[in-house]
Chains A and B, each alone.
Chain A
Amino acid sequence: MINFRDKNLIPIWEKVQRGNELTFEDGIALFNSHDVISIGKMAHWLQREKNGDAVYFVVNQKIEPTNICVLSCKFCDFAVKKNSPDAYEMTIESILEKLNPELLEVHITGGLHPDWEWDYYVGMVKEIKNHFPRIDVKAFTAVEIDFFSKKFKKSIEEVLLELKEAGLRTLPGGGAEVFSERVRRLLFNQKIGAKRWLEIHKKAHQLGLRSNATLLYGHIETIEERVNHLLLLRDLQKETNGFLSFIPLAFQPGETGIKPRNQFTSAIDDLKTIAISRLILNNFDHIKAYWVMLTEELAAVALNFGADDMDGTVGGERIAHDAGAVSPMQLAKNKLIKIINDANKIPVERDIFYKPVKLHSKNVIGRVSYLNTLPFFKYLDNREYKIFPAPPRQLGFLFKDGNIDAGIVSLVDYFDKENDFTFLPYGIVGNKNVKSVILYSKFPIEDLNKKNIAVTDETSTSFRLLQVLLEMKYGFDVVYIREKISAREKILPNFDAFLTIGDDALKFIKNKPEDFVYSYDLAQLWFDWKKLPFVFAVWAVKKDLPQNKIEVLNKLLDDSLNKFFSTKNNIEEFYTAKLNLNKKEIEDYLNNITYRLGEEEIKSINLFREYYSKLKSKELMVEKF
């Protein structure tokens, strides 16, 4: 509930809850509003819908190979000319020296050097990958890509492909500044404009690279220009879905002469810009609070105003005042963890693609990030726990590493940790059928022997169930390949069948994949075979939690289920828009699932456990991302 001081925001809030896009006018109304708390509450709501209480960071390092630049943008107090005494150039060797095996990401951008050869850039990426295979390379803004293309007479596509070949994974979001011809002419007239920037990122996305986007605000831009910038990014994201995160960057006056040295953006402008970006960019998964620029204190506050990412240990050198055994990076990492915990969020160490590596928090509840867990969480109002949402398989990894105290986890992941965990009498159960674990196939299931099947990279238990069915019921020998499967993209023409689960599977209901004319509900197949319901997930709790805590949780879950199923109109339009289903269809889907475990369910769990342990752990999976 939001108690709006600015009533103009009420229709905007309704749109946000329905999952509708905000308009240009909405953006302006938000920027003009003085109701900072309400804007923050809306953004925080959307942030939690998308990422629960997770706040991401990455152990990363920034490399600026040179400060020599052929351009001289007005707001840049980094670049110098070749003959300047401050000019520097790094060799590949000196770049490698700055890296270490703890890193998961390196961020490379620099000046546009007049003399360097193309081989140098490609070599840099290649050598980093050779020496540090764990480090993912995020390198070269659109400005640099454009420069390479012109200087080395290659198309954008060639430039990007050669870099990708060398090991590049993502492009940083810099160089976007603010998409406005007016501002470009005044401040950086030699630099590429909006059109070219968007074109380069679009090309990158099409070639399978991901990228970030930024907005430089707080100089001479108008709020109209800011909103317009956000809308252009949202449009491109709709087309390509290639952006990982958005980073609003507060302008730092420094010696640029654009603003007095000490005239920083106001904290309120910073928070509003983050919150409004969250609200307008509803198709972006992540919004970053870049702590090095915002100050640690304000970045911490921003984690309740829509930001769910703190960037990383970059800039760690600057806070390393305490000499001693701990590396500056470790210090920076500890600091980030503390800031995020102080803000009552979960510090999630991630890789370049936001895959969680480790959670640094106590009292975390894991949530499979699908609609079907809504009945557990919609009314679960407990502030002792923080909620971490993720697809089953990703949650499983964290669960197995002991990052999670309790939560709804995939059945086989629970099996793997039965020594440490027990389960409460709740789960996600397909009774005869479930509608969201579907095998789509070009052939009838009887003909799938020796065929190639794509398996969504999100599944844990459903994949094992598929294996049990195909191998033990039918006695088939099948090749499985993990793939990202989403209803948005072209469906895998090279496969004979594919397994989709969760919300993605729901999206296919009204959008049947061409060519895959057969579809099988795995819960149905199991029921036909065993005459038992199938338990996909259970509510696991750590055995060493105090008994009273476990009881409290048990009661909370019981209450939330009761409340959910006795309340009308539970389904926000947010979900209908997202899943392309109407309210009735969603209600039917949830009513069809069993959430409480009875005797039949326990029987089924025990039976499946036997099959699971019989599954030869043969290396059938080809991991492909």
Chain B
Amino acid sequence: MLTKDILKKALNGERISNEECLQLLNYNDILELGETANEIRSIKNPENYVTFVVDTNPNYTNVCEIDCTFCAFYRHRNEPDAYTYSVDEMIQKFKDAARRGVTTVLLQGGVNPELPFEYYLELVERTRKEVPEIHPHFFSTSEIIGMSEVSGLSVRDVLIRLKEAGLNTIPGGGAEILSDRVKRKISKKKGTSADWLNVMREAHLLGYKTTATMMFGHIETDEDIIFHLDSIRKLQDETGGFTAFIPWSFKPENTPLEKHIKSFASPYRYLQMIAISRIYLDNFPHIQASWFSEGKKIGQVALHFGADDFGGTLEEENVHAAANFVNKSSTEEVIDLIHGAGFDAAQRDTLYNIIKVFRKGVEVKETV
């Protein structure tokens, strides 16, 4: 099929196949892709606003035994700069964050075998009780699998206990690229693709909402990307539990994986990926632009290539900061960036409910 017919088909609301997706991945006219993706975006999310969440992204521990080659963040437990915070310390951090207007805490950490399951439960429970302004968006699939190992409970039972403690959304990290060939190379001690999908499935079936991420621009092939997209599209058909898809490109600095990759994924590839995910993932409500990994300017451009969400304001962000790619941002600045891209900015919560809309042309200072 001609590429333009594939695009037409997608515009008509028909689902595109994996072969067609492969063709799009090899199609380098990003303006054509962007035009279609932007049109689909405006059908799915007709409001002329871009959503964002006021969040913070702290870590409770950087101790990890998984040794993923793309990770610049983790330490082994005996290294001098290894840390693990107590629940009290974390609650204090959340309280400070709440005072600054933060509504969501995206919390992830290393997979630290010394932490008992009770630590995690307490963290969720006390957050709900002591800092009710904050929505806990805690723990990637790797940590959940870690909890299952530490506690001897099944993944499903871990999720049930966490849910009882008050958790109802989890972040989509840890997916990297759902290809066991790649995973064996870059994160061989981490779970398989099936493990990631399985945690997500169980979570969705229990009523959790989650996001899905994809890290590209390392050693994956186009086929790996398609497998990834196909897997999450199928799971979404089954459960409907995904809120948003967040592709981001691998940043090599300070990581062991760096040696095996010649360069960053180009901004072209990123915009192509945003557009293609909007076109292919017809059952995902939102596509998120990852300005913190791609840079603010490219983040803004992505909003015209199919993304309708600008992610979080990230009051504190350790994972990327450690990779020498510091892009801190305040709520004001995020609103400014969205306005600069030509949209109104809508503050949302973790479940994508709109809290407040900041119109373009209205002085932000007065309204924040």
Q: Write the residues of chain A forming the contact surface with B, with a CB cutoff of 8 angstroms.
A: 1-3, 5, 34, 36-38, 40-41, 44, 262-263, 265-271, 294-295, 297-298, 300-301, 304, 338-339, 342-344, 383
Q: Which positions 2-46 of chain B face chain A at CB distance < 8 Å?
A: 4, 27-31, 34-35, 38-39, 42
Q: Does residue B160 face the partner (Cβ distance < 8 Å to A)?
A: no
B27 partner, pick from A34, A269, A383, beta carbons under 8 A: A383
* A267 CA / B298 CA spacing, docked (Å): 7
Least CB distance from A268 to B in Å reads: 5
* A81 CA / B141 CA spacing, docked (Å): 61
A268 touches B340 (CB 8 A): yes
* Chain A residue contacts of B342, Cβ below 8 A: 34, 36, 268
Query: Nearest residue in B to A3 (C-beta to C-beta)?
Result: B35
A37 touches B267 (CB 8 A): no
A40 touches B266 (CB 8 A): no
* Known contacts A5-B39, A268-B340: A41-B31 contact under CB 8 Å: yes
B297 touches A344 (CB 8 A): no
Query: Nearest residue in A to B303 (C-beta to C-beta)?
Result: A268
* A276 CA / B48 CA spacing, docked (Å): 23
Q: Write the residues of chain B forming the contact surface with A, with a CB cutoff of 8 angstroms.
A: 4, 27-31, 34-35, 38-39, 42, 48, 263, 266-269, 271, 294-298, 300-301, 304-305, 333, 336-337, 340-342
Least CB distance from B252 to A in Å reads: 13
* A343 CA / B341 CA spacing, docked (Å): 22
Query: Nearest residue in B to A268 (C-beta to C-beta)?
Result: B341
* Chain B residue contacts of A300, Cβ below 8 A: 266-268
A271 touches B301 (CB 8 A): yes
A301 touches B268 (CB 8 A): yes
B266 touches A342 (CB 8 A): yes
* Chain B residue contacts of A266, Cβ below 8 A: 297, 300, 337, 340-341
A301 partner, pick from B29, B267, B337, B340, beta carbons under 8 A: B267
* Chain B residue contacts of A2, Cβ below 8 A: 35
| Most A Cβ at <10 Å: residue of B31, B38, B263, B295 | B31
B268 touches A343 (CB 8 A): yes
* A301 CA / B267 CA spacing, docked (Å): 7
* Known contacts A300-B268, A343-B268, A344-B268: A267-B31 contact under CB 8 Å: no
A298 touches B267 (CB 8 A): yes
Q: A40-B31, A266-B297 are known contacts; what are 4 more A-B pairs with Cβ within 8 Å?
A: A5-B38, A36-B304, A268-B301, A342-B267
* Chain B residue contacts of A36, Cβ below 8 A: 304, 342
* Chain B residue contacts of A269, Cβ below 8 A: 340
* Chain A residue contacts of B34, Cβ below 8 A: 37
Query: Nearest residue in A to B295 (C-beta to C-beta)?
Result: A297
Query: Nearest residue in A to B35 (C-beta to C-beta)?
Result: A37
* A294 CA / B34 CA spacing, docked (Å): 21
B31 touches A44 (CB 8 A): yes
13 contacts between A and B (CB under 8 A): A2-B35, A3-B35, A5-B39, A34-B48, A44-B31, A262-B333, A268-B300, A270-B297, A295-B295, A297-B267, A304-B31, A342-B269, A344-B268
* Chain A residue contacts of B29, Cβ below 8 A: 344, 383
A-B contact count (CB 8 A): 82
* A295 CA / B327 CA spacing, docked (Å): 14
User: Lowest 8 CB-CB distances: which A-B pairs, in order?
Assistant: A266-B340, A342-B266, A267-B297, A267-B300, A297-B267, A344-B28, A298-B297, A36-B304
A301 touches B298 (CB 8 A): yes
B301 touches A267 (CB 8 A): yes
A301 touches B27 (CB 8 A): no
* Chain B residue contacts of A262, Cβ below 8 A: 333
Q: By DSSP majority rule, is chain B's interface helix, strand, loop, or mixed?
A: helix
Least CB distance from B330 to A in Å reads: 10
Least CB distance from A106 to B in Å reads: 29
A267 touches B267 (CB 8 A): no
* Known contacts A37-B304, A383-B27: A298-B266 contact under CB 8 Å: no
* Chain A residue contacts of B296, Cβ below 8 A: 267
A298 partner, pick from B4, B298, B305, B336, beta carbons under 8 A: B298
B35 touches A343 (CB 8 A): no
* A267 CA / B271 CA spacing, docked (Å): 14
* A36 CA / B343 CA spacing, docked (Å): 12
* Chain A residue contacts of B336, Cβ below 8 A: 263
* A344 CA / B28 CA spacing, docked (Å): 7
* A154 CA / B323 CA spacing, docked (Å): 57
A268 touches B304 (CB 8 A): yes
* A266 CA / B360 CA spacing, docked (Å): 14
A342 touches B341 (CB 8 A): no
Query: Nearest residue in B to A44 (C-beta to C-beta)?
Result: B31
Query: Nearest residue in A to B29 (C-beta to C-beta)?
Result: A383
* Chain A residue contacts of B295, Cβ below 8 A: 295, 297
* A34 CA / B304 CA spacing, docked (Å): 9
A338 touches B263 (CB 8 A): yes
* A265 CA / B300 CA spacing, docked (Å): 11
* Chain A residue contacts of B35, Cβ below 8 A: 2-3, 37-38, 41
* A38 CA / B263 CA spacing, docked (Å): 31
A37 partner, pick from B31, B263, B266, B337, beta carbons under 8 A: B31
* Known contacts A37-B35, A37-B38, A268-B342: A383-B271 contact under CB 8 Å: no
* A37 CA / B30 CA spacing, docked (Å): 10
* Chain A residue contacts of B30, Cβ below 8 A: 304
B298 touches A297 (CB 8 A): yes
* A304 CA / B28 CA spacing, docked (Å): 11
A339 touches B266 (CB 8 A): yes
Query: Nearest residue in B to A297 (C-beta to C-beta)?
Result: B267
Least CB distance from B82 to A in Å reads: 28
Least CB distance from A32 to B in Å reads: 10
* A310 CA / B263 CA spacing, docked (Å): 20
Least CB distance from A516 to B in Å reads: 46
* Chain B residue contacts of A270, Cβ below 8 A: 297
* Chain A residue contacts of B300, Cβ below 8 A: 266-268
* A270 CA / B337 CA spacing, docked (Å): 13
* A343 CA / B337 CA spacing, docked (Å): 24
Least CB distance from A203 to B in Å reads: 38
Query: Nearest residue in B to A263 (C-beta to C-beta)?
Result: B336
* Chain A residue contacts of B301, Cβ below 8 A: 267-268, 271, 298, 301
Query: Nearest residue in A to B28 (C-beta to C-beta)?
Result: A344
* Chain A residue contacts of B42, Cβ below 8 A: 5
Least CB distance from A622 to B in Å reads: 45
| Most B Cβ at <10 Å: residue of A34, A44, A301 | A301
* A54 CA / B333 CA spacing, docked (Å): 37
* Chain B residue contacts of A1, Cβ below 8 A: 4
Query: Nearest residue in A to B48 (C-beta to C-beta)?
Result: A34
* A267 CA / B38 CA spacing, docked (Å): 17
* Chain B residue contacts of A344, Cβ below 8 A: 28-29, 268
